[in-house]
Structure 1
Amino acid sequence: MARHSGPGGSGESVARLSPLQAFRAEHSRGFYVISCAWVGILAVIGLYLVGFGGYLVHLGGSPYYVLFGLAMLAAAVFYFGRPTLSLLCVVGAALLTVPWAFWECGANYWALFPRLLMPFGLAVVALFLYSPAAAPRMPASWRKAATCGGWVGLVLCVLGFGRGFMNVPIITPDAKQLADYKLPTPEALKAAGENVSDWTAWGRTNHGTRYAPFQQINRDNVKDLKLAWQAHTGDLGPGVRQDTPLQIGDTVFDCTPNDIIVAMDADTGKIRWRYNTVSTTAAPWQRCRGLAYYEVPAAIQEAAQQAGDAQAPRTNDADEALASPSACRRRLINTTIDARLIELDADTGKPCATFGQQGVVDLTQGMGRVPSGFYFQTAAPTVARGQVIIGGWVMDNMMRGEPSGVIRAFDAVTGKLTWAWDMGHPDWTGAPPPGEHYTRGTPNMWTSAAYDDKLGLVYVPLGNDTPDYNTINRKRVSHLFNSSIVALDIKTGKPRWKFQTVHKDVWDYDLPSQPALVDVPDGKGGTIPAVIQTTKRGQIFFLNRATGEPITKVEEKPVATAKGELPGEELSPTQPYSVGMPTIGADHLTEKFMWGATMLDQLLCRIQFHKVYYTGDFTPASLRPSIEQPGNIGGLNWGSVSYDPVNHLAMMNDIRVPSLFFQVPRDKFTGVLLHGHFPNPFTDAGHGPAPQYGTPYGMITEFWLSVIGAPCVQPPYGTITAVNMDTHKIAWQVQGGTVEKMGPFGIPSHLPMTMGMPTYAGTMTTAGGLVFFSGNQDFYLRAYDGANGKLLWQYALPIGSSATPMSYVSPKTGRQYILVSVGGMNHNGPTGDLMMAFALPEKDSKAASTASPASAPGEKTSSETISQPS
């Protein structure tokens, strides 16, 4: 019995104190409150981890969380009476977490982040609290050691957290790759066919390589790049800008999401003319990713004019159009969000009156019934041998039998249909017979085609017969062509060859990107004409573009999920894998791959993983939630690749966010999202809930996110990658931006941590050894070293950019510009109407221009070489 001396000096008995009462008597009120809060935190964490961790064990998952939770509960119980034991529980649990964490994920920093940071943070707090908590009972040396340990732990936590701000590459080039990297000479550029000056197509040329052969801005001086001018296009309506401008001579041409066409001075951004196409649509995708350009060859124009002067009889529609006084020599071509093909005079911005009907061709002709918003164009058309080649976007997953995926070519002078490829009617060569329409519901091309003039082939990347997630009632001909790249004869539109990247696709793995046409050494002193086709699967198919045969090995592999769970579903037992090329961001998922900002939300993602259906690649949608990995946005999406023809490096960016998807029987389909939202097919664009009319099921799909709004898989969520097309291996890979503008629950973190976020649009590569990219979630335009991926320069944009940069050299001033459309980032932040151009200071531009291999002003441009009529 405890005793103390009372006023009378005699010992008096007092009641025995509980550990809590004793602790309260021995410490200040403030420290007592802090300690109670600490015990409460430990108890809550412990109960949470034991409860949810126990459920994870029940599902067959890791027992770690239960064990750690029990340690936290023990630490809470022991704290007031036995602080030393409480400290050992917290610190011991943190230390024992280390071998478990490395066993699960190795030395991957972002995988270790949620596993170690919280346990060590708790241990640091425990060490600092131990000294005052144990003061009345423990030697000072013990308490001092604990405090020192706390400071050491705090430094380690700060260093560990700070590592997240370091721009450490994911993959670095080896010494040989660095030694072999070289900047091109003018002769090398000319040999590679890269000696033209203008940017006349969406991918700069019809080869789609997005390579600017200019060296005025280079690795040494890019740090001095400054904003040279900016302009407003005037379109602040709905839609995120994804446009890459054209540049012809001293003028830049651009389109906006709602199809306003603008011409700007290449050196100042001053608007020369603006044309509003007055395009409207009920569909969700207000997009114009680019324009096309056609310059009528002078000989044809002059011959037609002479024939007109002599009042000679017209031999064809083209002669008639060219002989007209209102004929347009230089033409801009736009496909609109309400399915029209429009040609404008590039000099005046006025419609070319003799093209179609007063400058307009109705692209719904021959299509049959087209519900509002169910068919239109979002990608730039391709101009080849005097023809405008277009595909079309259709409303995903609404119904079987949507408008046709027909590929058509129109005369660039008259707007007359020259050929059409309707895979359902291969005998048709033009417009459908009277009373007929093109085959409904065939795979479509919603991106841009590429074109090889020497081979006379148009390379068409196809999507699916929508609905994308179900094969019930799908056409047999669609199975032949879905998710395929098809080479069409430029004269007839007939297929020469096809290569299919997914069989019987029910994952929305359509081909989103323009093919890149490149020439690679054949090992015998010659070259192979090749095509690079990237996919949402993260697979890169490398084909001979003359024959369609794979250059690198493609292997048909059995897929474990070949047998679906839906009656009537047709799935392929095998799928093609490009095993001779690297796969980008398509990791096989396991529980260990689950992630969270802390171990708490990571645990919930682990639980989700065990509750959903996933057996690996090509897990089909069933009646239960299933994981689609990669998700329906990729992988590698519509930004395509840029290509360094001297070092044979293909630059690409990817997205790594899996989807959850499942089918719902027709009588039960309400369209309710997993988190309780209701669908709007015109805002979800078929990527949210969609009815799939014509099949027995509706479907639901959405990004697979944790409770805090972050992907449930570990970072990176996007990268910039260089692939060596000689070795067929990744040369280098870096994270795709930081989390500065994103964070838990959608709240911006303002922390430039290099986690690597989902990327949009594409890269642009220059002869100056640089790779430019602006489609980051953190609103920066960046320049990377083409040799190793090192970040050399970045500029904070006022809002995000979902567009691919381009570059040109002004024929007036000789300055090289980097130009990017700044109109908002998908899923993140506001939209706008800015066009921003960057250049070196004028004195530096003049000094560097003498070393640039750019074509001299007035040199023949690519528009005069790739647009020759046959």
Structure 2
Amino acid sequence: MFHCHSSARCLKWILAIVVIVALGALGLFRMPSLGQWKGTAPVAADGSSPDWSAYGGDLSGRRYSPLTQIHGGNVGELQAVWQYRTGDGPAQKREPSNLPAFEATPLKIDDSLYFCTPTNVVISLDAETGRERWRFNPETDTRGHYLVTCRGVSYHRQEVQAGHCTRRILAGTIDGRLLALDADDGKPCADFGRNGQVSLRGGQEPIKPGFFSITSPPNVVGGVAIVGGLVLDNQSVDVPSGVVRAYDVITGQLRWAWDSAREQNPVPAGQPYGRGSPNAWGVFSADPALGLVFVPTGNRSPDYFGGHRTPAEDSHASAVVAIEVATGKTRWVFQTVHHDIWDYDVASQPVLVDMNVAGSPVPALVQATKQGQVFVLDRRDGKPIYRVEERPVPRGTVPGDRASATQPFSVEMPALHPLRLSEDDMWGLTPFDRAWCRTEFKKHRHEGLFTPPSLQGTVNYPSNLGASNWGSVAIDPRRGILIANTNRIASVVTMIPREEMNRRIAAGEFAHSPSEGTPYMADARPFLSPLGIPCTRPPWGVLTAIDLDKRTVLWERPLGTTRDLAPLPIPLNWGVPNAGGSLITGGGLVFIGAAADDYLRAFSVESGDEIWRARLPAGGQATPMTYLDRNGRQYVVIAAGGHAHLGSTLGDYIVAFAIAPKHKRNAAK
């Protein structure tokens, strides 16, 4: 995962933008041009699906709705119609270590919305009015937690009416519990575990405060709720297991456990889980017809040194894994990085779509990655649909570790991120600034993507923030267009021998990533000039459209402005760091917040033109969703609560947008 590591570092980014804005306002330089690609696509048919039943819209994770009521011709009339405040905002008392992020995407089931706040308060709203129906506060223990967030909840309806909890909401918590609540009144389901909750700490102890949490929604499929977990990065080799577990959605009984460190799965009952095994903290996808859940995995802790990792731990790390829903057995594994020592874990939700390949329909899985690769696989067996080539990559790492001789490249799909930097790519506001960046670049090691960490310092591009992160990508299955929001930021990773680090700590230096149990500590930080400005030229945030049929880039645009990252509201359209995802609609629109400014935007999915934007009361670092209310009116909804890591405006809002009914529009004229 990407971490800012301290509010001071986040502030450093903000100050960097302040300097840029100040000089940009004086006209000292202009934004470099992005290349544009043009393409045509067939017009989508109308659709009427009224709900948003899972985090990514449905179990496929496409982030697509066929609704067409809002389209390019009327999106200019879109306006905020209600907003709701959760009470779990910046005024909420928190532990000193807590950095909150409101990353939730609500579900819409029947006439209600369901979502969670950063501290796992589960809330239901009336989908038409935004009025609160109920809330449940699990009183989570946030001690020691760095990232405080909850991306969403899940839903299950029993086929046989059972009175209480026939419809239930499943949610994880950052202190390691799985909750089941009645969707009608928010009360715990008494038949689930102990009074509506199951502890996920079993087989995981000891767990230090903040070292294990659930930040993504359970995947509910085939009568089970499947959960992974976030394990705190870079602290120690002795951290909780990355085990993935399936629980009976009615009783809470453990059905199976899958541990990425084991050669054989599922884990036999009663056996311990492997300490520190690669975890799966992101959002899962599922194909009920195939009986498979698709799990994106991370790597063995710590991130930047792997000399202690076993072959079994490496084999399932930084991969997408297909697991049988009924048994917990591994069906197939596709690894996106071999022996990952860059923190290039698979953060993005796998996206399922049926593609026409050589005239035949193929059930596909599209996996975007931090390194900017887009892999397209047959989700039945994990074999690439479009060619993947093992290419030689830079070798040589610190003593005691190793680096893979080759890495997989998706050679028949466009990359979402440049593969390397050169001295000519170094950038600055002044000749001095640029010269400093060029000198530093030459001092450090960089031979392109997958240059191993080193004692001299390695420039990683992309950084561990990645190109694509947990916001994943959206796919329009009718137009065959993929939309990705990415970051283009470099970092410098320097491996510090343990003896030297111990001396620094004794002298009063604080170790953010101690990596206990290894010979080194990794010092990872953004590649910035003395002014605190990125040494790589803008844009630092980009929105990209890919034609999946032609496998070409349709268009690219900078994503986000400097509007809310400086004391003066100067909206320079340079593209800024972003976190969250996009939504595509049948009306031909891409809705996205994500950028570290307080806007929700709409782009034309075919041309890339920004055709609408609206101010949000706080940062929109979440993925928007859409639905129809009981009267057939379409809404677009986003969580606007900001992201402490990105330094965006913090808040506690859910904001709904819609077009005013025709009679009200006429009355206003």
Q: Does residue 824 of the first structure (1) align with residue 647 of the second (2)?
A: no
* C-alpha distance 672-755 of structure 1, shift in aligned 2 (>3 A): farther
Residue of 94, 98, 104 corresponding to 1:243: 104
Q: Does residue 789 of the first structure (1) align with residue 611 of the second (2)?
A: no
* C-alpha distance 753-427 of structure 1, shift in aligned 2 (>3 A): closer
Alpha carbons 1:814, 1:845 under 8 Å: kept = no
Q: Which runs of 5+ in 2 are unaligned?
A: 1-19, 95-99
Q: Does residue 199 of the first structure (1) align with residue 52 of the second (2)?
A: yes
Alpha carbons 1:816, 1:845 under 8 Å: kept = no
Distance in 1 (CA, whole Å) between partners of 2:664 and 2:474 is 24
Q: Which secondary structure does the structure 1 equivalent of 2:148 belong to?
A: coil
Distance in 2 (CA, whole Å) between partners of 1:207 and 1:791 is 27
* C-alpha distance 749-704 of structure 1, shift in aligned 2 (>3 A): farther
Match of 1:632 in 2: 464
Q: How does 1:341-420 map to 2 (within 5 A)?
A: 341-420=178-257
Distance in 2 (CA, whole Å) between partners of 1:473 and 1:363 is 26
* C-alpha distance 678-240 of structure 1, shift in aligned 2 (>3 A): farther
The amino acid of 2:169's aligned partner reads L
Distance in 1 (CA, whole Å) between partners of 2:369 and 2:198 is 32
The amino acid of 1:690's aligned partner reads S
Match of 1:802 in 2: 621
Alpha carbons 1:801, 1:821 under 8 Å: kept = yes
* C-alpha distance 598-779 of structure 1, shift in aligned 2 (>3 A): farther
Length, aligned pairs only: 634
Q: Does residue 504 of the first structure (1) align with residue 339 of the second (2)?
A: yes
Alpha carbons 2:157, 2:168 under 8 Å: kept = yes
Residue of 470, 481, 506 corresponding to 1:649: 481
Q: Does residue 562 of the first structure (1) align with residue 395 of the second (2)?
A: yes
Match of 1:738 in 2: 561
Residue of 445, 450, 471 corresponding to 2:285: 450
Distance in 1 (CA, whole Å) between partners of 2:186 and 2:345 is 35
Alpha carbons 2:261, 2:316 under 8 Å: kept = no
Match of 2:45 in 1: 184
Q: Which secondary structure does the structure 2 equivalent of 1:592 belong to?
A: helix
* C-alpha distance 359-611 of structure 1, shift in aligned 2 (>3 A): same
Alpha carbons 2:390, 2:408 under 8 Å: kept = yes
Residue of 521, 533, 543 corresponding to 2:367: 533
Distance in 2 (CA, whole Å) between partners of 1:844 and 1:352 is 44
The amino acid of 1:771's aligned partner reads V
Q: How does 1:292-311 map to 2 (within 5 A)?
A: 292-297=154-159, 300-301=160-161
Alpha carbons 1:169, 1:733 under 8 Å: kept = no
Q: Does residue 440 of the first structure (1) align with residue 293 of the second (2)?
A: no
Q: Does residue 290 of the first structure (1) align with residue 127 of the second (2)?
A: no
Distance in 2 (CA, whole Å) between partners of 1:381 and 1:251 is 19
Q: CA deviation at 1:789?
A: 0.7
Alpha carbons 1:821, 1:835 under 8 Å: kept = yes
Q: CA deviation at 1:520?
A: 0.8
Q: Does residue 622 of the first structure (1) align with residue 622 of the second (2)?
A: no
Q: Does residue 337 of the first structure (1) align with residue 174 of the second (2)?
A: yes
* C-alpha distance 548-845 of structure 1, shift in aligned 2 (>3 A): farther
Q: How does 1:668-683 map to 2 (within 5 A)?
A: 668-670=500-502, 678-679=509-510
Residue of 446, 465, 471 corresponding to 2:300: 465
Q: CA deviation at 1:718?
A: 1.0
The amino acid of 1:370's aligned partner reads I
Q: Which secondary structure does the structure 2 equivalent of 1:830 belong to?
A: coil
Alpha carbons 1:378, 1:393 under 8 Å: kept = yes
Q: Which secondary structure does the structure 1 equivalent of 2:649 belong to?
A: strand
Match of 2:421 in 1: 589
Distance in 2 (CA, whole Å) between partners of 1:554 and 1:428 is 27
Q: Which secondary structure does the structure 2 equivalent of 1:497 belong to?
A: strand
Match of 1:658 in 2: 490
Q: CA deviation at 1:741?
A: 2.2
What RMSD in Å do the two structures reach over aligned CA positions?
2.2
Per-residue CA deviations over 1:466-494 (Å, capped at 9, x if unaligned) read 11111121122111111111111111111
Q: How does 1:206-217 map to 2 (within 5 A)?
A: 206-217=59-70
Alpha carbons 1:805, 1:818 under 8 Å: kept = yes
Alpha carbons 2:262, 2:313 under 8 Å: kept = no
Per-residue CA deviations over 1:516-550 (Å, capped at 9, x if unaligned) read 001111232x3111001011001111111111111
Per-residue CA deviations over 1:659-678 (Å, capped at 9, x if unaligned) read 111111111115979xx995
Match of 2:655 in 1: 836
Match of 1:152 in 2: none
The amino acid of 1:820's aligned partner reads I
Distance in 1 (CA, whole Å) between partners of 2:418 and 2:396 is 22
Q: Point out the structure with max Rg over C-alpha.
A: 1
Q: CA deviation at 1:397?
A: 1.0
Distance in 1 (CA, whole Å) between partners of 2:580 and 2:231 is 20
Per-residue CA deviations over 1:12-37 (Å, capped at 9, x if unaligned) read xxxxxxxxxxxxxxxxxxxxxxxxxx
Distance in 2 (CA, whole Å) between partners of 1:577 and 1:755 is 29
Alpha carbons 1:541, 1:581 under 8 Å: kept = yes
Q: Which secondary structure does the structure 1 equivalent of 2:656 belong to?
A: strand
Q: Does residue 170 of the first structure (1) align with residue 34 of the second (2)?
A: yes
Q: Which runs of 5+ in 1 are unaligned?
A: 1-113, 122-156, 187-194, 302-321, 681-688, 848-870
Per-residue CA deviations over 1:374-421 (Å, capped at 9, x if unaligned) read 111111111001110010100101111321111111010000011111
Distance in 2 (CA, whole Å) between partners of 1:569 and 1:487 is 29
Q: Which secondary structure does the structure 2 equivalent of 1:608 belong to?
A: helix
Alpha carbons 1:563, 1:573 under 8 Å: kept = no
Match of 1:770 in 2: 589
Match of 1:487 in 2: 322
* C-alpha distance 809-362 of structure 1, shift in aligned 2 (>3 A): same
Sequence identity, in percent? 40
Higher relative contact order (CA 8 A, sep 6+): 2
Residue of 349, 363, 369 corresponding to 1:514: 349
Distance in 2 (CA, whole Å) between partners of 1:263 and 1:206 is 21
Higher strand share: 2
Q: Which secondary structure does the structure 2 equivalent of 1:808 belong to?
A: strand
Match of 1:576 in 2: 408
* C-alpha distance 197-596 of structure 1, shift in aligned 2 (>3 A): same
Alpha carbons 2:177, 2:197 under 8 Å: kept = yes
* C-alpha distance 271-677 of structure 1, shift in aligned 2 (>3 A): farther
Per-residue CA deviations over 1:421-452 (Å, capped at 9, x if unaligned) read 1234455635642xx41111211100011001
Residue of 577, 580, 603 corresponding to 2:435: 603
* C-alpha distance 671-823 of structure 1, shift in aligned 2 (>3 A): farther
Q: CA deviation at 1:827?
A: 2.2
Q: How does 1:715-754 map to 2 (within 5 A)?
A: 715-742=538-565, 747-754=566-573
* C-alpha distance 598-671 of structure 1, shift in aligned 2 (>3 A): farther
Alpha carbons 1:417, 1:430 under 8 Å: kept = no
Q: Which secondary structure does the structure 1 equivalent of 2:313 belong to?
A: helix
Distance in 1 (CA, whole Å) between partners of 2:504 and 2:63 is 41
Q: Which secondary structure does the structure 2 equivalent of 1:478 belong to?
A: helix
Distance in 1 (CA, whole Å) between partners of 2:462 and 2:319 is 18
Higher helix share: 1
Per-residue CA deviations over 1:77-117 (Å, capped at 9, x if unaligned) read xxxxxxxxxxxxxxxxxxxxxxxxxxxxxxxxxxxxx9xx9
Distance in 1 (CA, whole Å) between partners of 2:503 and 2:199 is 34
The amino acid of 2:551's aligned partner reads H
Distance in 2 (CA, whole Å) between partners of 1:601 and 1:588 is 21
Q: CA deviation at 1:280?
A: 1.3
TM-score normalised over the length of structure 2: 0.91
The amino acid of 1:429's aligned partner reads P
